[in-house]
Chain A
């Protein structure tokens, strides 16, 4: 089962600042929905744990997250490989950054591929849940990068 996703958003931060945030695993990973913990393996890779919940099927997924591409200040791309409850998933998430109106246009895209028991048991539920979680991730990134009036940008 493959889920493709893409979109874009604008923020007022500079492209360099935005890149610095998105290419920093320690800042990016906590924005993942249901984030639990992060353990850096080296500069580019980390073990991230997140909660997974699809209906009554619940567990902790372990993801090996790797910063595959880091082209300052225009592009950052992560790949992830995870497993949970006899299932596996592969994740790609990329960010292309363009300067716009003194801020940054963030074009995001990615692919989530899932395999195994979860797909079999909850196949019909995965797509809507994944789409919701991707929206939560993007919302969290936007909020961290551009919190709006009264807020404080992360990083």
Chain B
């Protein structure tokens, strides 16, 4: 029986549903201390003085830390990935001399209880001199107020991505559509457990972390030099992450504070658990992006031939990991469309807002929203139905090499559109829409097509900074038959809710001809027992490709050893052996006979009874490590050209939305989501992740936004104002899938889970469809009732769109 494409019960649910998961805040130990962070109320302010005397005098407070102390304790500040001027930015986990965003930690208190630590924090007096805040990227690029004096400018990166013959395409265009400004808003993710860490800096110099960082291989590389220890001295454990969505890649800064606090206490364990408000205020937001002066060239048939535009990314107070976002979007340069000519001038700027971090659909979602807006705006302006406009422009031949050298592995976007139409009842809704319009109601139908590119080529980092020593990708898995004959698997990545234990066990079961129940995939991640590489982690929708390829490769090697061993034991030829399950458990047997040897016997032989083995079997350990490396090359950094990612899953959503004319409230009447992630390993898990990404995207489109005022106050830093979506707000999703197997992965899988922000594209499209007759063009990605009401109220003002017809 095959285990691929089946949905056995999730292994993870045995503990998670029973309340037996292990989250960071579950960690208790004798003498555990607690950390509280004092944060800047100002978005931009000089720190004139910090007085910790009253806090340190409070009984129960063990010690405090300030930015000045941290600067002395750290051999160097955290590395910024960007080139100069971003590389000059000094980035410490506590503000040194100046606070750059509201909520930036400026001091820390360690105490015997969390309450005492908070009380101590209230006694710390910080004298600030407030400075003017820079709250938009456009304002930042004026460089009137410089955030980081060491960089000398607020522009941290700029590059032009130009491909094809852009000017020629515009000269020959039948129509040119100009869009003055589009804006993608700030939002993030809301994990079950926020960032959290327990740190223990041992007296002999080693450092233990129990945390929920989701990219340990990367965190180690940043933490080790900043803390002045080797990577090998740093022991990091994670277990149930509680959801990362990419955000927890960047919690290494808080890990450093806890580590330094532990060091100051003489090596006691120090726990820090972020509150929800702290998380929303300061843990990391998704990129905010503004698209200016966009021009779209089209031929007489409505086929887009060229796009030129200027994009400005707001990365908040510190670039950190973020300049990677300046290139990651180009993995999906033409989106799902066959446009060959592009000129995108891309800049990134720092502002006095929370630092941007990777967030589900990282950097690509913003660009895909931009491309979908182009499609819908052009469609409406040229009076072409939205579905026809897409069919005219979709890429249809695969593999497809994009203008910047990325290779789309497989796909069938017209089939996805057809399936989504079928699921939602397209023709019926078109009739209802006509009736509704006859009654003066505002009903729109929107389509969103998106990509979920998975398995990064880290060489793309060199397009942003040629000096970075990163390229390719890799992932590791180990598999062994232990003393008792159990099959034990460890993974290089620490999962954060993607069901790695279940899907990995399915792959092993498939390979060994056994049941997933007989495969133990170790939970969590531990640098002490998991082997890993610098790329190891959960991000970029890649596990089904990198993680499972590593597992598959390890299985292949293990099977080869097991065949050799069984052939020796059974005195048979390897070709005559087959894997399966017998009366005494998992076994290898000689085809057509009752001769067999089970895993227990083989495990015992290798580990306990090996003097009986033949000499030529001396290398058989039944303990295998396999590293999977995708076939990447280093991109051409001058041309910004190369294959930046291995697989391209796709999603196509359709929404029907009615707008309340009086209040602007957008109500979703129907919603369909079609997914294509290539070969599906576990349909239930894929379905769950599609629903999760859909919920996340609908929440972002309608409910979730980080709003700052002009002085840099975050006005939405609690769930009262930043309202995450729940099952109560979710429409019923009509879910379907198609499978176009990837030719680039051993199993045809493409990886999935991020979802590409499809609901953002879809909701924007549906709202524009509802309001286009009222003179509205949707140019923002967030659609609260207030903002939709404003669109209706201001509909007689400029739409920001100009159409020039030449033929």
Contacts and interface: CB of A to CB of B under 8 A. Distances in A.
Contacts of B716: 120
Given A85-B122, A86-B39, A86-B41, A114 B713 contact: yes
Contact of A83 (B39, B41, B121, B709): B41
B717 interface: yes
B128 A1 contact: no
Interface in A115-155: 115-117, 119-121, 123
Nearest to B720: A121
Interface in B529-548: none
B713 A121 contact: no
Given A87-B41, A120-B281, A115 B715 contact: no
A115 B711 contact: yes
Given A115-B43, A115-B102, A120-B277, A88 B715 contact: no
Interface in A74-96: 83, 85-88, 90
Given A2-B711, A85-B122, A120-B277, A115 B41 contact: yes
A115 B277 contact: no
A58 interface: no
B715 A117 contact: no
Given A86-B41, A115-B102, A120-B281, A1 B713 contact: yes
- Chain A, interface size: which category? 10 to 19
Contacts of B130: 88, 90, 115
B46 interface: no
Contacts of A119: 709, 713, 715
B637 interface: no
Contacts of B721: 120, 123
Contacts of A88: 41-42, 128, 130
Contacts of A87: 41
A123 B713 CA distance: 10
B658 to A, nearest CB: 28
B88 interface: no
A113 interface: yes
A93 B125 CA distance: 24
B42 A115 contact: yes
Interface in A1-38: 1-2
B718 A120 contact: yes
B714 interface: yes
**Interface of B: prevailing SS:** loop
Contacts of A86: 38-39, 41, 121-122
A126 B432 CA distance: 45
A114 B102 CA distance: 12
Contacts of A117: 41, 277, 717
B36 to A, nearest CB: 11
A120 B38 CA distance: 16
A119 B715 CA distance: 7
Contacts of A85: 122
B709 A1 contact: yes
Interface residues of B, number: 27
B46 to A, nearest CB: 13
Contact of B715 (A2, A90, A113, A120): A120
Contact of A120 (B40, B125, B713): B713
A51 to B, nearest CB: 16
B784 to A, nearest CB: 15
B715 A123 contact: yes
B118 to A, nearest CB: 10
Nearest to A87: B41
A90 B102 CA distance: 15
A88 B712 CA distance: 13
A90 B713 CA distance: 14
A6 to B, nearest CB: 20
Nearest to B281: A120
**Most chain B CB inside 10 Å of its own CB: which residue of A2, A87, A117, A119:** A117
B42 A1 contact: no
A121 B709 contact: no
Given A85-B122, A121-B718, A116 B41 contact: yes
A114 B715 CA distance: 11
B713 A116 contact: yes
Nearest to A119: B713
Nearest to A120: B717
Contacts of A121: 277, 717-718, 720
A121 B716 CA distance: 8
Interface string A98-123: 00000000000000011111011101
A90 B714 CA distance: 17
A116 B712 CA distance: 9
Contact of A1 (B121, B122, B711): B711
B512 to A, nearest CB: 54
A79 B103 CA distance: 25
A27 B135 CA distance: 40
Contacts of B125: 83
Nearest to A115: B41
B313 to A, nearest CB: 25
Nearest to B121: A86
**Most chain A CB inside 10 Å of its own CB: which residue of B43, B121, B713:** B713
A55 to B, nearest CB: 11
Interface string B699-710: 000000000011
Contacts of A113: 711
A120 B714 CA distance: 6
Contacts of B126: 83
Interface string B27-50: 000000000001111110000000
B353 to A, nearest CB: 13
B281 to A, nearest CB: 7
A20 B41 CA distance: 35
B671 to A, nearest CB: 31
A88 B43 CA distance: 11
A88 B126 CA distance: 10
Contacts of A90: 130
Interface in B1-60: 38-43
B39 A115 contact: no
Contacts of B713: 1, 114-116, 119-120, 123
Contacts of A2: 710-711
A116 B39 CA distance: 9
B162 to A, nearest CB: 43
Nearest to B41: A116
A85 B713 CA distance: 15
A85 B124 CA distance: 11
Contacts of B128: 88
Interface of B: 38-43, 102, 121-122, 125-126, 128, 130, 277, 281, 709-718, 720-721
7 contacts: A115-B41, A115-B43, A116-B42, A117-B717, A120-B716, A123-B715, A123-B721
5 nearest A-B residue pairs (beta carbon):
A116-B41, A120-B717, A88-B41, A115-B41, A119-B713
Interface of A: 1-2, 83, 85-88, 90, 113-117, 119-121, 123
Given A1-B713, A86-B41, 18 more contacts: A1-B715, A83-B41, A83-B126, A85-B122, A87-B41, A88-B41, A113-B711, A115-B712, A116-B39, A116-B40, A116-B41, A116-B713, A117-B41, A120-B277, A120-B714, A120-B716, A121-B720, A123-B713
